[in-house]
Amino acid sequence: MASGTDLTSSSQPVSKVVHAEVHDTDNADTDPSRDVSRKRQSLSDLLTIFASGFALISDGYQNNLMTMTNVLLKKEYPKEYTSVVSTRVSNALLVGEVIGQIIIGLTCDYLGRKTAIIFTTVMIVIGGVLATASHGVTIDGMFWMMTVARGVVGFGAGGEYPASSTSASESANELTPKHRGPAFIMVTNFPLSFGGPFAVSIFLIVLMACHESHYSTVWRVCFGIGCIWPLSVFYFRIRMLNSTLYRRGAIKKHVPYLLVIRYYWKTLIGTCGAWFLYDFVTFPNGVFSGTIISSVVTNGTVRQTGEWQLLLGAIALPGVFLGALLCNKVGRKNVMMIGFSGYLIFGLIIGCAYDKITKIIPLFVIFYGLMQSSGNFGPGNMLGLLSSESYATGVRGTCYGLSAAIGKAGAAVGTQAFQPIQNNLGKKWTFIIAAICGVVGVMVTYFFVPNISGEDLRIRDEKFRAYLVENGWDEAMGEDDLQAFAEDGVITDDSEKAKGG
């Protein structure tokens, strides 16, 4: 029992032994645990942040790859690639992401961040290879294989959201707690948003290399390139460690889900509801933006559509930087409400003046880009940040994954409804509905989203731990040499301050 790591093999009062050892190792001047040196943990945290950011570029690439591919496939297969097939292929990624976010969200809490991250990388690569090799006896059969392959990619990409984002948040909390918010945004939403213009840039390069022809080669090469980005950081992901926060606060058995819901019900309504509204607007407007632009560019080529699409993606990026700069000064909740308000302003401008503004293509693209930039500034930045900060470490992956999955469900609904809205109500109504969603988003944020100040995540962990103990739950928390029963806690200076000590 000298190690204090086995909580079941002896009848000794193990919890007190573990507590004493954890307390001795939990000082700012010593290593984060007996088995892991501070230098090694800090290096791992740094690599985790780097690998998370670079891998999420891959997810942004995959999310935006269909933007120009839809335009290309419509040109190559004008009869076979109907709006029904286009929606099905586009939605395959979303359905996979919903499943991946829920399953990997649970996995990264039960099995650890590292295990989940390695698995998501493998799934993205397998799905990318299958998409590249899409083939069938008929053209429709080829599109069905593409649909399945994109679903596999979606499972991996969806799992990246809770796995990479929670890892990045916990690692940033250890390295730079005061700047955790901006650091988190720059390695999560920035690479996801950058994936849009990045995917279009790759598409244009491949298109020009193929002399604006050989369309089948273009989309297959673009799908194949998507396998490179996750593989480029695979080694670093294998070498990473689980964060100190996770090794202190993980709940691997007998998760008290009823207590979790009682404690976080209001926050879950806020993050799930706001994410649903955000993705309902953002995803279809991203996936079909190429189609929208091609419809207003009279007699335009695929290349011209791609160039306008690249400008649109570039205009949307500054919102990410501005949100990162202001999240600490203005407050996460306020920034999110301002971003949703941008949907109201720019959605109404474009929707009400659609017939006139689309005649001036640069003006239309600028306002369209500003609407997407406001989304990046507010909910795009803050939803991931708030979902990673609002929940305790033991259930962070689960609650983050659930929130993101509800968001992707909103994206699937929005994508499915996008074409019918355009066909039955008119194209301007896609923007007017975006404005309505902006109003609802402000209300959901105001009433249900907590106003997180950016405090050390350990404080929220200790408050949650105390709540569980008060309600009679006393199971093992943490892993390895930082494992202890809930009632023992992990005494830190921050947790003492949280208790008023």
34 pLDDT more than 70: no
278 vs 176 pLDDT, higher one: 278
pLDDT band at 300 (very low <50, low <70, confident <90, very high): low
Q: Taking residues 279-294, what's their average pLDDT?
A: 75
Per-residue pLDDT at 338 = 96
Q: Taking residues 112-139, what's their average pLDDT?
A: 89
Range scoring the smallest mean pLDDT among 282-286, 346-350, 372-376:
282-286
CA–CA gap between residue 345 and residue 343 (Å, rounded): 6
Q: Taking residues 223-251, what's their average pLDDT?
A: 84
94 vs 7 pLDDT, higher one: 94
72 pLDDT more than 90: no
4 pLDDT more than 70: no
pLDDT band at 37 (very low <50, low <70, confident <90, very high): low
pLDDT band at 32 (very low <50, low <70, confident <90, very high): low
| Alpha-carbon dihedral sign for residues 400, 406, 410, 411 | positive
Query: Helix H segments across 111-227?
Result: 113-132, 139-175, 180-187, 189-209, 215-225
CA–CA gap between residue 98 and residue 108 (Å, rounded): 15
96 pLDDT more than 70: yes
Range scoring the smallest mean pLDDT among 16-20, 79-83, 129-133, 361-365:
16-20
323 pLDDT more than 80: yes
90 pLDDT more than 70: yes
Q: Taking residues 457-468, what's their average pLDDT?
A: 90
Per-residue pLDDT at 498 = 41
164 vs 285 pLDDT, higher one: 164
Q: Taking residues 453-480, what's their average pLDDT?
A: 86
Range scoring the smallest mean pLDDT among 6-15, 188-197, 254-263, 466-475:
6-15
24 vs 79 pLDDT, higher one: 79
| Alpha-carbon dihedral sign for residues 496, 499, 500, 501 | negative
- The position carrying tokens 């902006």 is 438
Say what angle helices 318-330 and 302-316 make with each other, to 10 degrees.
Answer: 10
131 pLDDT more than 50: yes
Q: Taking residues 279-291, what's their average pLDDT?
A: 76
Per-residue pLDDT at 271 = 96
pLDDT over 90, % of the chain: 32
292 pLDDT more than 80: no
Give the best-scoring range by mean pLDDT among 210-219, 294-303, 335-344, 479-488.
335-344
Token representation of residue 179: 């700047």
CA–CA gap between residue 221 and residue 87 (Å, rounded): 22
One-character DSSP codes across 436-482: HHHHHHHHHHHHHS-------HHHHHHHHHHHHHHTT---EES-GGG
Mean pLDDT, rounded, of the chain = 82
Q: Are 226 and 128 in contact (CB under 8 A)?
A: yes
Question: Cα-Cα-Cα-Cα dihedral of 165, 171, 175, 176, to 10°?
Answer: 30
127 pLDDT more than 90: yes
297 vs 349 pLDDT, higher one: 349
- The position carrying tokens 């189609």 is 291
Question: Cα-Cα-Cα-Cα dihedral of 267, 268, 272, 274, to 10°?
Answer: -10
H-helix or E-strand containing 484? strand 484-485
| 443 exposure class (CB count in 10 Å sphere: 0-12, 13-18, 19+) | middle
- In the DSSP assignment, the letter for residue 485 is E
Phi, psi of 317 (to 5 degrees): -70, -40
Q: Taking residues 290-295, what's their average pLDDT?
A: 70
Token representation of residue 309: 């699409």
- In the DSSP assignment, the letter for residue 6 is -
pLDDT band at 493 (very low <50, low <70, confident <90, very high): very low
11 pLDDT more than 70: no
Per-residue pLDDT at 24 = 40
DSSP, collapsed to helix, strand or coil, labels residue 244 as helix
CA distances 5 to 20, 25, 205, 433, 477, Å, are: 12, 14, 55, 55, 11
Q: Taking residues 341-345, what's their average pLDDT?
A: 94
81 vs 445 pLDDT, higher one: 445
Query: Is CATH 1.20.1250.20 the classification given to domain 14-498?
Result: yes
Per-residue pLDDT at 398 = 93
Q: 409 CB contacts (<8 Å, ≥6 apart)?
A: 94, 98, 276
Q: Are 493 and 28 in contact (CB under 8 A)?
A: yes
pTM for the complete prediction? 0.81
108 pLDDT more than 70: yes
